[in-house]
Amino acid sequence: MKVFVDMHDKRWKKYKIDFEKIVSALDSLALRDSEVSIVLTDDAEIHALNRDYRGMDKPTNVLSFELGDDILLGDIFISLDTVRREAKMANISVDFSKSVGKMKPMHAVNNAPVRPMKSQWRSNFDTFKALKIPYARTHDASLSEIYGSQHVMDVHCIFTDFSRDPDDPTAYDFRNTDQYITTCFDADCEIYYRLGTSIEHLPGKYGSIKPADPLKWAKICEHIILHYTEGWANGYHYPIKYWEIWNEADLDVNETENKRCWSGTAEEFFEFFKIAFLYLRKRFPNIKLGGPALANNLPWARQFLEKMTEGERAELDFFSWHIYTINAEKMLDRAKKVADLLDEFGYGHIEKHLNEWNYIENWTTQFIDSVRVIKGLKGAAYDFAFMAVGQNSPYIDMMMYYDARPDKEYNGLWDSHFILPLKGYYAFDFFSALYQLGTQAKLECDQDDIYALAATDGETGAAVISYYTNDPEATDKTFTVTLDHAGDYEICAIDEDHDGDKIGAFSGTAIEITMKPNTLIKIGGKIK
Q: Which CATH number fits domain 2-87: 1.10.238.10, 3.40.390.30, 3.40.1350.10, 3.40.50.720?
A: 3.40.390.30
**CATH fold group of domain 90-100+440-527:** Immunoglobulin-like (2.60.40)
**pLDDT in the model for residue 28:** 54
**pLDDT in the model for residue 11:** 84
- Considering only 8-22, 119-133, 252-266, 464-478, which range has the smallest mean pLDDT? 8-22
Work out the pLDDT band at 374, boundaries 50, 70, 90. very high
pLDDT tens digits, 143-172: 998 898 889 999 999 999 999 999 999 999
DSSP 64-132: EEE---SSEEEEEEEEHHHHHHHHT-EEEEEEEEEEEEEPP-TTEEES-----BTTB----HHHHHHHT
3-state secondary structure of 527: strand
Work out the pLDDT band at 27, boundaries 50, 70, 90. low
CA–CA separation, 228 vs 235, rounded Å? 6
For Cα atoms 148, 150, 156, give the angle at the middle one, nearest 5 degrees: 130
Tally the residues of the chain: 528
**pLDDT in the model for residue 32:** 65
Give the amino acid at 377: L
Give the mean model confidence (pLDDT) for residues 369-398. Answer: 97
**pLDDT in the model for residue 89:** 57
Residue 25 clears pLDDT 70, i.e. is over it = no
Residue 84 clears pLDDT 90, i.e. is over it = no
Give 392's contacts (C-beta < 8 A, 6+ positions apart).
Answer: 453
pLDDT tens digits, 197-240: 999 988 888 889 999 999 999 999 999 999 999 999 999 999 99
**pLDDT in the model for residue 472:** 92
Residue 172: beta bridge partners?
none
CA–CA separation, 156 vs 147, rounded Å? 16
pLDDT tens digits, 431-479: 999 999 999 999 999 888 999 999 999 999 999 999 999 999 999 998 8
E strands in 203-350? 242-245, 288-294, 318-324
Secondary structure percentages of the chain, helix, strand, coil, to 5 = 35, 30, 40
Q: What are the boundaries of each domain within the chain?
A: 2-87, 90-100+440-527, 104-437
Give the mean model confidence (pLDDT) for residues 379-402. Answer: 98
- Could you tell me the CA-to-CA distances from 419 to 121, 234, 352, 356, 403 in Å, in that order? 10, 33, 32, 22, 14
**pLDDT in the model for residue 67:** 78
Work out the pLDDT band at 87, boundaries 50, 70, 90. low
Work out the pLDDT band at 317, boundaries 50, 70, 90. very high
**CATH fold group of domain 104-437:** TIM Barrel (3.20.20)
Give the mean model confidence (pLDDT) for residues 400-405. Answer: 96
Largest interatomic CA distance in the chain: 102
Work out the pLDDT band at 54, boundaries 50, 70, 90. confident
Work out the pLDDT band at 269, boundaries 50, 70, 90. very high
**pLDDT in the model for residue 270:** 98
Give the amino acid at 110: N
**pLDDT in the model for residue 456:** 97
The pairing of beta strand 72-79 with beta strand 35-41: parallel
Residue 22 clears pLDDT 80, i.e. is over it = no
Give 257's contacts (C-beta < 8 A, 6+ positions apart).
Answer: none
| Contact yes or no for 434/452 (Cβ under 8 A) | no
CA–CA separation, 70 vs 115, rounded Å? 82
SS3 per residue for 303-333: HHHHHHHCCCCCCCCEEEEEEECCCHHHHHH
The pairing of beta strand 242-245 with beta strand 72-79: unpaired
Residue 13, classified by CB atoms within 10 Å of its CB into exposed (0-12), middle (13-18) or buried (19+), is exposed
Residue 90 clears pLDDT 80, i.e. is over it = no
- Could you tell me the CA-to-CA distances from 388 to 28, 59, 340, 507 in Å, in that order? 48, 35, 21, 26
CA–CA separation, 481 vs 479, rounded Å? 6
In this structure, what are the phi and psi dihedrals at residue 342, rounded to the nearest 5 degrees?
-65, -40
Residue 31 clears pLDDT 70, i.e. is over it = no
CA–CA separation, 382 vs 380, rounded Å? 5
The mean of the pLDDT values for the chain is 92
Residue 351 clears pLDDT 90, i.e. is over it = yes
Give the mean model confidence (pLDDT) for residues 318-330. Answer: 96
Give the amino acid at 113: P
In this structure, what are the phi and psi dihedrals at residue 206, rounded to the nearest 5 degrees?
-130, -55
Higher confidence at residue 201 or residue 340? 340
The pairing of beta strand 398-401 with beta strand 108-110: parallel
CA–CA separation, 90 vs 480, rounded Å? 7
Nearest partner of 507 among 479, 480, 486, judged by Cα = 486
Work out the pLDDT band at 417, boundaries 50, 70, 90. confident
CA–CA separation, 319 vs 298, rounded Å? 13
Give 247's contacts (C-beta < 8 A, 6+ positions apart).
Answer: 139, 194, 196, 197, 198, 199, 261, 292, 293
Give the mean model confidence (pLDDT) for residues 381-391. Answer: 98
Give the mean model confidence (pLDDT) for residues 316-335. Answer: 96
